[in-house]
Amino acid sequence: MSNKTFTMIKPDAVANGHTGKIIDDILQAGFKIEAMKYLQLSRAQAESFYGIHRERPFFKDLVDFMISGPIVAAILEKDNAVESFRTLIGATNPEQAAEGTIRKKYAKSIDANAIHGSDSDANAAIEGSFFFSQFERF
């Protein structure tokens, strides 16, 4: 699925009223929205989604943050989607994010970093199918 990626607009950006501006940035960058959902994760869901980070020191803070409020999950389509989307959102730590990127504009810290983007085609398929059953066969 090299033309698809998965994203979540995180609780900080939703709570701060940035959802509409971030979706507009995504559309202006040429992505097509294939599916979108507004929901609040349970602790079990957040622990499962971020299971790859279970042994990392920031895991508990990450899960606590991700269940602190609603998120927006989406499947996006564009050529070279994973890499193109990671360029649009900027570095994980907003202090290191390039000017004009979503994290530079809307993120406050490495935890409250406004948005998630899959880091590979394989993870985009796993993460997309976590939220959207129609994408199980990516």
62 near ligand CMP, rule: CB under 6 A: yes
91 near ligand CMP, rule: CB under 6 A: no
Nearest-CA neighbor of 62 among 76, 41, 78, 80? 41
Options 22-30, 74-82, 109-117, 124-132: segment touching ligand CMP (CB under 6 A): 109-117
92 near ligand CMP, rule: CB under 6 A: yes
111 near ligand CMP, rule: CB under 6 A: yes
Q: Which CB, 61 or 137, lies closer to ligand CMP?
A: 61
Q: What is the total count of residues that contact ligand CMP (CB under 6 A)?
A: 8
13 near ligand CMP, rule: CB under 6 A: no
116 near ligand CMP, rule: CB under 6 A: yes
List, by residue number, the catalytic residues.
116
β-bridge partners, 77: 4, 32
- Contact with ligand CMP (CB under 6 A): which of 108, 110, 121, 123? 110
Q: What is the DSSP string of the chain?
A: -TTEEEEEE-HHHHHTT-HHHHHHHHHHTTPEEEEEEEE---HHHHHHHTGGGTTSTTHHHHHHHHTSS-EEEEEEE-TTHHHHHHHHH--SSGGGPPTTSHHHHH--SSSS-SEEE-SSHHHHHHHHHHH-GGGTT-
58 near ligand CMP, rule: CB under 6 A: yes
- Interface residues with ligand CMP (CB under 6 A) are 53, 58, 62, 92, 110-111, 113, 116
